[in-house]
Structure 1
Amino acid sequence: MSWICCCSRRAVNRGAAEAAAEISKAANVARVHTTSDGTDVDNRKPAAVASASAASKPAKGTAQGAVLVELFTSQGCSACPAADLLISKLGRGDTEDLGLDVPVVVLAFHVEFWDYLGWKDPFASSLWTVRQRAYSQALEQDSIYTPQVVVQGRTQCMGSDVDALLSLVRSAPRFTTTDIQANVSKPSETALQVSLSGPLRFKVDGYTLDVFVALYENDHVTDCTKGQNKGRVLTNDFVVKGLEKACSVKDISARKTVTGKVTFNLWEGFSRSKCGLVMFLQNSSTKEIQGLQTFELPDNI
């Protein structure tokens, strides 16, 4: 399987003029920076002491039937900043000017395979490349590329192609918000634990359903000094800092209670106000998303 950078001449099935037009269109997205809960940067609360624990409530503005949009991006690719800005806009719900009335939840996975071009993406992980490859196989693609968006685990397009992305979001199947609840604790200064419990709304028959939890962070600003984006100030939101499988279920009836627990390693500078959680249900084989829920981190974390 090959790698394709949509900012290079190696982009498949796209002429240079077409790609440039798409990138230019996406670059018009406003560069607005907020924390995950709208808190002013200067007034953020410090992280709570270890052993804090509380039930996590659904995030403000979370609506039923949200569509999950996953961006695979890299600070080392010159085509990605436009897609990053678009994803930030969608994630904030700032979509009125786009004519989009479908609720969207976004996650940005930074991949590492363009680090050799001169700039090492500080948020990149080979684990996210593995996830992107799994989507490529499920969607029967010959290569992986950046920026790429995968919508509801079912379809994909170039991450800076506004019209294509909006079309995929509008046509994606939507599922009622789950009844699964989250309890979030901080057993130590370097760990965040999330315990899940609640009933599924549907029957799982003949396949395995994975329950994942993602921890993301907003409000990153990076001065890029090397590579294709040299001299640019890069902004990134909804950056996935960790993705863990809470449990897997198979052949269970509707309303059956599922439980699971995940632990995330925290990083220097962790701030509750910049972070959030996304729990989603994914078919293990087809990779299709079958439901999701977002959670705020409790104030005492």
Structure 2
Amino acid sequence: MKRKYLITLSLFTLIFFTSFSNWTVKKHDSVVVLELFTSQGCSSCPSADALLEKVGDEFKTKNVFTLSYHVDYWDYIGWKDPFSQKQFTDKQRAYARKFRDNQIYTPAVIVNGKEHFVGSNRAKMYAKIKAYKKELSTVGISLCAIENTAKKIKFNYTINGSISNTKARVVLAIQERTTKVKRGENARRTLKNSHIVVAEKYLTNVEASGNYTIDIPKIVTKNDKLSVYMILENTQKDILTAQKLDFL
């Protein structure tokens, strides 16, 4: 009787731990999203722009995504940045409220929506990438292109993992553009910008899978190469995961 009891207990224990292991949350590859707030009207920004480009190229196959948001609060100084949008200034202010900062500045980089520092600080940039690359995600995203025309890009997506209390945004970016600046702090300079955000939209509802269409704004030319990003974040703006599609 005792032997039978021990066998039964052992089987129960095996079933319990097997079931528990099935409940374990699947881990996905780490993702690092660097959001640089910059402006062609800011003399301190070109060095940060160059660093963002270098990092983007160096880690392009390692789930490090670089995005350049051009703000509009430098436009008054003599040069209107063609990529600047009030929406991006408002976005930076929203981050400032999250971090309980009284002011915003350029160049500023946000890492995974969790912290910020001066965007031209090379040592800190690499240190933060190394640190965040150690953090596996509990969510993953897959993207597949459906349609790409002069006016819109359509794709489907699949989110693997819990989408409870999350928000998803779709970002459209020009991979690279050079601009001859005629006035302002960077007058007579030719500036190179990369991963320039030209549109950003939040999904109305986050679902495990679906299709999404983003319109291509007029600032995009036929020679521009585009990238589409899908970014998943929680209600505190912490970025959980991201994925991108490149269009050559």
Same fold? TM cut 0.5: yes
Amino acid in structure 1 at the alignment position of 2:225: K
What residue in structure 2 maps to residue 192 of structure 1?
152
- Tell me by how many angstroms 1:196 deviates: 3.0
Alignment of 1:256-271 (within 5 A): 257-267=208-218, 270-271=221-222
2:216 partner amino acid:
N
In 2, distance between residues paired with 1:192 and 1:87? Answer: 27
Q: State how far apart, in whole Å, the 2-side matches of 1:70 and 1:135 are.
A: 11
Could you say what secondary structure the match of 1:137 adopts? helix
**What is aligned with 2:21?**
none
Secondary structure, counterpart of 2:95 in structure 1: helix
CA RMSD of aligned residues (A): 2.5
| Structure 2 gaps, min length 5 | 1-27
Aligned residues of 1:213 and 1:262 also touching (Cα < 8 A): no
Separation of aligned partners in 2, 1:162 and 1:154: 18
Matching residue within 127, 149, 153 for 2:109: 149
For 1:128-184, what per-residue CA distance to the aligned partner results, in whole angstroms no more than 9, with x for missing partners?
Answer: 111111111111111110000000000100001111222222222342672433333
Spell out structure 1 runs of 4+ moving beyond 4 A.
none
Which structure dedicates a bigger proportion of its chain to helix? 2
* Aligned twin of 2:183: 226
Corresponding position of 1:88: 53
Once the 2 structures are TM-superposed, how far is the Cα of residue 82 of structure 1 from its aligned partner? Answer: 0.2
Letter in 2 for 1:152: N
Give the direction of change, closer, same or farther, for the CA distance of 1:121–1:199 in structure 2 (3 Å limit).
Answer: closer
Give a deviation string over 1:205-252, Cα, whole Å, max 9, x none. Answer: xx3x11111111122111111111112111101000111123434xxx
| Offset of residue 261 of structure 1 | 1.9
User: Please, what TM-score do these two structures have when normalized by structure 2?
Assistant: 0.79
Overall identity of the aligned pairs, in %: 28
Is the 2:96–2:103 contact (alpha carbons within 8 Å) kept by the matching residues of 1?
yes
Which structure is larger by alpha-carbon Rg, 1 or 2?
2
> Residue 281 of structure 1: CA displacement?
0.2
Indicate conservation of the 8 Å contact 2:227/2:246, yes or no: yes
Equivalent residue letter for 1:80: C
Give the number of aligned pairs: 219
Question: In 2 relative to 1, CA 269–217 (structure 1 residues): closer, same or farther, beyond 3 Å?
Answer: closer
Q: Distance in 1 between the 2:216 and 2:87 partners?
A: 15
Task: Check 1:198–1:102 CA distance in 2 against 1; reply closer, same or farther (3 A cut).
Answer: closer
- Which residue among 281, 288, 299 is the counterpart of 2:238? 288
Correspondence list, 1:90-105, <5 A: 90-93=55-58, 103-105=63-65
Where 2:79 maps in the other structure, the secondary structure is: coil
CA distance in 2, matches of 1:118, 1:273: 26
- Give the Cα–Cα distance (whole angstroms) in 1 for the partners of residues 138 and 62 of structure 2: 13
Which AA in structure 2 matches 1:219?
E
Q: Do the aligned partners of residues 268 and 227 (structure 1) sit closer, same or farther apart at CA in structure 2, a change above 3 Å counting?
A: closer
Q: Which stretch of the first structure deviates more once superposed, 286-295 or 158-167?
A: 158-167
1:275 matched to 2:226: yes
Greater RCO, CA 8 A, separation 6+? 1
8 Å contact kept, 1:244–1:262: no
